[in-house]
Structure 1
Amino acid sequence: MLGVSETGELYAWGENSSGQLGNGTYTSSNVPQLVPTLSNIKTAATSENSSVAVTTTGDLYVWGNNSQGQLGTGNGAVINFPFLNPNINNVDTVAGGRDHYVFLRNDGTVWTVGDNSAGQLGQGFVSDSILSPVQVAGLSNIISVGAGEYHSFAISNTNELYVWGNNGSGQLGLGDLNNRLVPTLASLDNVANAQGGAAHSIFLTTDNKVYTSGNNSFGQLGTGNTTDTLNPVLVDVPSAASISAGQYTSLILRSDASVFAFGNNMEQQLSTLPISVPTPTHLSNVDGVTFIEASAFSSHFLYGEEQACASAAVTVTVNVTPVVTVSENNGVLTANPVPAVPGATYQWYLNGNPIVAPNPTDPSITITAGGEYSVEVITTDGCTGTASYTSTLDIEDISSNDVYLFPNPAQEVVTIKFGTASSTEITITDQTGRVVFVETFTENEAKLNVESLATGVYNVIVTNENQQNTLRFVKSQK
């Protein structure tokens, strides 16, 4: 899928097996990606697994599958990045079939390239493919072009419709099943737009009426049945503003910004409608649309600021996902969501493993080991914000120069053993340097009650006549 921004940038997303996303890779993407090196894009089109883009100066860039020469580069080489086609210029717009393209130049002439197995290039003969763009004889003053999988259209400045290519199901609307190898004037008058699917066509006239012809196996003609038609038939959707044909589906955008759909819905390309929809049906969940595009297995809609006339007002509540940071103070981590989220729950993790906290609504937790701490802040509306903090603290039962401290972390009592019995001063400070405990011991072991200390990391300074050692321990929650 391709999309052109208001500033002339081109975005691509979807399947990329032939490099049709134009980003230099063959990796598919389910989000729009900016096509590099391109700017000032006016319009773009796709065929099966290939892409083309036209700039405001009429240059044509091509990339993707080239098995039928549809890129018009003179060979069949696959290209996974935008390539400036030197074989055609002054291009105004383009339409893509299955493996062929129809180009309209600014001088009103029509050019085609690619697969010609059904005469869809309009050259008067059938061939496997044509590798460089060729002019379609007999057409001038053309203002619009279109394409189905194996058939093509051109519309003149007097709104005359010319058709050619495959007509095995009557999709050319000429009253028979004979293919046309050159442009043939159709009987339908005042045509403003023509689009094609696999074997059906949909036409929009200047008086905002819609006609269809061709294959109707899935109801894609919108006639209420599944009978093919060889001549264009009127579709009962008035005030049409735009049309689009998928492989076996059809879409109509009305002037009130509502969308009507009919045809195949096996892949839910027509939203929640039944599998086969032979009658034009309003897609009530996509009102307010300004652009429609049907493809083989999906449909795409662009929404504008205006709402459809028939749409009811809708109140939308947007729940804000909090932005979370983590702060550390005295060995205690605290999640700080912005904005504040009363009633939120906090799930902490250490190296990806959940930490079972005694109070899930407490935003703080004590560091108990070095590693990657992360937190999920879950609001009462179900929105989740995340943040992480890396601790370099290496906490375990520790020793230093014959001084031992255990257990670590400790909840109630911490034991400190010295190498020899002597007068030893033990000082405990928090991470700000504030002294929270000091006492002198004459035995070679001290048991300290730390139950009253706040949770956090503490320094233990052990001083005797021979040496001074500093250790750390964690006071954990009980």
Structure 2
Amino acid sequence: MSLQLHKINSKALLDTTIEDRDCQLPIPLPDTFKTVTKISSGVWHTVIAGYDQHNRPQIATFGKNCDGQLGTGDWENRDTPTQAKLPPEMHTLHTIQTRFFHTIATGLDKNGYPIVASCGYNSDGQLGCGDKDNKNALIPIKLPENMKSVEMVATGVKHTVIVGKDINNKPMVATCGHNGYGQLGTGDEENRLYLTPIGIPEDITTVDYIEAGTYHTVICGRNMKNQPILALCGCNSDGELGLAPQKITQKSSLMTNPALFFPPRQDRNAINNMMKISKFSPCNLL
């Protein structure tokens, strides 16, 4: 099995050479791969997830590995997809996320309980493992006590956001890592070494999407009337929270901005189309 890859860069992320490529080239996957279900790319590395012939989850990584983000158990770069080990208790792989310098994988154990594992750069606790040491293997991390499921993950440059459901089947958001701009939504600017539950606006009854920018966090949800709502926190130096930066430079707790309330919609396609707008403003959205 092989992948078609486009525009291989000088960091040798996607091929065995260090030359740029502007055409699609196939690369071989580990022999154990029978299907590919997900792909995620960080700044200098790529992660591929799939299943073997026995329907067991597989993960392969390649690219830069100076911080252990490949999860191969060492610090050596890889120029071809290389098998990385998932935690043995992870029987099902649901999500992989790696936008910057660390990697997050989520899945279920044999009893259906959620597992979140992390590796890579950990300068501010973004791996959620309780320390600031980089990790070169995917290690399960502690989840908040009342979180019964994990549905979505987003990674900023030095923070991590997960969304799931609590024991009462209500949406639950937890964050960890760098919080110098309030991007964790904890109401302060202190870093967190473990996944920490945060408050979300009371009118959000369902969370549909999450995104983590470099230093800010965005949640898209809906209220009881099925009207979509955006909640944001973190750095606002360039208006990334949808507010004039001269009025507020950062926000340390999730807030809903009246300028960002969408018109009522019943389907996600409307939300998807609106999320493509490059700059949120009342003129664009209302």
TM-score computed with the length of structure 2 as normaliser:
0.75
Give the secondary structure class of the aligned counterpart of 2:123: coil
| 1:215-265 deviation per Cα after TM superposition (whole angstroms, max 9, x unaligned) | 011111111221111111212115323211111111111133211111122
- Kindly indicate which of the two structures has a greater share of residues assigned to helix: 2
Give the drift of 1:147: 1.4
- Kindly indicate which of the two structures has a greater share of residues assigned to strand: 1
1:114 matches 2:63: yes
Give the drift of 1:87: 3.8
1:269 matches 2:240: yes
| 1:381-413 deviation per Cα after TM superposition (whole angstroms, max 9, x unaligned) | xxxxxxxxxxxxxxxxxxxxxxxxxxxxxxxxx
Alignment counterpart, residue 37 of structure 2, candidates 82, 92, 117: 92
Give the secondary structure class of the aligned counterpart of 2:259: helix
Aligned match of 2:155: 196
CA RMSD of aligned residues (A): 2.6
Is the Cα–Cα contact under 8 Å of residues 68 and 130 in structure 1 kept in the other structure?
A: no
What is the CA–CA distance in structure 1 between the aligned matches of 2:129 and 2:188, rounded to whole Å?
Answer: 20
Give the drift of 1:148: 4.1
| 1:152-195 deviation per Cα after TM superposition (whole angstroms, max 9, x unaligned) | 11111332111111111011111211221111111115322222
1:285 matches 2:259: yes
Aligned match of 2:172: 209
Give the secondary structure class of the aligned counterpart of 2:275: strand
Is the Cα–Cα contact under 8 Å of residues 242 and 260 in structure 2 kept in the other structure?
A: no
> Structure 1's 283 and 86: CA in aligned 2 closer, same or farther, altered over 3 A?
farther
Aligned match of 1:252: 219
Structure 2, unmatched stretches of 5+, are: 278-285
> Structure 1's 302 and 177: CA in aligned 2 closer, same or farther, altered over 3 A?
same
What is the CA–CA distance in structure 2 between the aligned matches of 1:64 and 1:150, rounded to whole Å?
Answer: 20
What is the CA–CA distance in structure 2 between the aligned matches of 1:283 and 1:77, rounded to whole Å?
Answer: 46
Is the Cα–Cα contact under 8 Å of residues 68 and 131 in structure 1 kept in the other structure?
A: no
Structure 1, unmatched stretches of 5+, are: 1-57, 294-299, 304-315, 317-478
Is the Cα–Cα contact under 8 Å of residues 93 and 103 in structure 1 kept in the other structure?
A: yes
Alignment counterpart, residue 243 of structure 1, candidates 210, 215, 223: 210
What is the CA–CA distance in structure 1 between the aligned matches of 2:99 and 2:106, rounded to whole Å?
Answer: 15
| 1:24-55 deviation per Cα after TM superposition (whole angstroms, max 9, x unaligned) | xxxxxxxxxxxxxxxxxxxxxxxxxxxxxxxx
> Structure 1's 59 and 302: CA in aligned 2 closer, same or farther, altered over 3 A?
farther
> Structure 1's 62 and 155: CA in aligned 2 closer, same or farther, altered over 3 A?
same
What is the CA–CA distance in structure 1 between the aligned matches of 2:107 and 2:75, rounded to whole Å?
Answer: 25
Alignment counterpart, residue 7 of structure 2, candidates 64, 68, 71: 64
Aligned match of 1:232: 195
Aligned match of 1:301: 275
What is the CA–CA distance in structure 2 between the aligned matches of 1:278 and 1:60, rounded to whole Å?
Answer: 42
| 1:346-371 deviation per Cα after TM superposition (whole angstroms, max 9, x unaligned) | xxxxxxxxxxxxxxxxxxxxxxxxxx
**Poorly superposed stretches of 4+, deviation over 6 Å:** none
Is the Cα–Cα contact under 8 Å of residues 173 and 197 in structure 2 kept in the other structure?
A: yes
Give the secondary structure class of the aligned counterpart of 1:285: helix
Give the drift of 1:133: 0.8
TM-score computed with the length of structure 1 as normaliser:
0.46
What is the CA–CA distance in structure 1 between the aligned matches of 2:260 and 2:21, rounded to whole Å?
Answer: 36
Give, as a single letter, the amino acid of the residue that structure 1 aligns with 2:211. Answer: S
What is the CA–CA distance in structure 2 between the aligned matches of 1:69 and 1:216, rounded to whole Å?
Answer: 32
Give the drift of 1:65: 5.0
**Aligned pair count?**
239
TM alignment of 1:145-224, pairs within 5 A: 145-157=96-108, 158=112, 159-188=114-143, 189=147, 190-207=149-166, 208-224=171-187
Is the Cα–Cα contact under 8 Å of residues 173 and 186 in structure 1 kept in the other structure?
A: yes
Structure (1 or 2) with the larger CA radius of gyration: 1
* Identity between Structure 1 and Structure 2 (%): 23
Give, as a single letter, the amino acid of the residue that structure 1 aligns with 2:232. Answer: A
Give, as a single letter, the amino acid of the residue that structure 1 aligns with 2:92. Answer: N
Give, as a single letter, the amino acid of the residue that structure 2 aligns with 1:164. Answer: C
